[in-house]
Structure 1
Amino acid sequence: MTASPTPATPAPAIPAPVALLLRVVPLYPLSPRRAGQLVYRNLLVARRSWLVFVSGFFEPFFYLLSIGVGIGALVGDVVTDTGAALTYQEFVAPALLASAAMNGAVYDAVFNLYFKLRHAKTYDAVLATPLSAADTAVGETVWALLRGAVYSTAFLLVMLAMGLVGSWWALLALPAAVLIGFAFAAVGLAATTWLRGWQDFEFVQVAVLPLFLFSTTFYPLSTYPRALQVLVECTPLYHGIELVRGLVTGDVRWGLLGSAAYLVVMGVAGLAVGARRLERLLLR
Structure 2
Amino acid sequence: MTHHALQSLLDLLDLERIEQDIFRGASRPAVVPRVFGGQVAAQALVAAGRTVPEGRDAHSLHAYFLRMGDPGAPIVYQVDRIRDGRSFTTRRVVAVQHGQPIFHLSASFQTYEDGLEHQEPMPPAPDPESLPTGEELLLPHRDRFPDPSVVDRLLEARAAVDLRYADAPPFLAAGAGPREPRSQVWFRTNGKLADDPLLHVCLATYVSDMTLLDSVLLAHGRGGWAVGDVVGASLDHAMWFHRPFRADEWLLYDQQSPSASGGRGLGTARIYTQDGRLAVSVIQEGVVRVPRD
Q: Given the two structures, how large is their TM-score scaled by the length of structure 2?
A: 0.28
Instruction: Judging by fraction of residues, say which structure has more helix.
Output: 1
Structure ranking higher in strand proportion? 2
Answer with 1 or 2: which has the greater Rg: 1
**TM norm structure 1:** 0.28
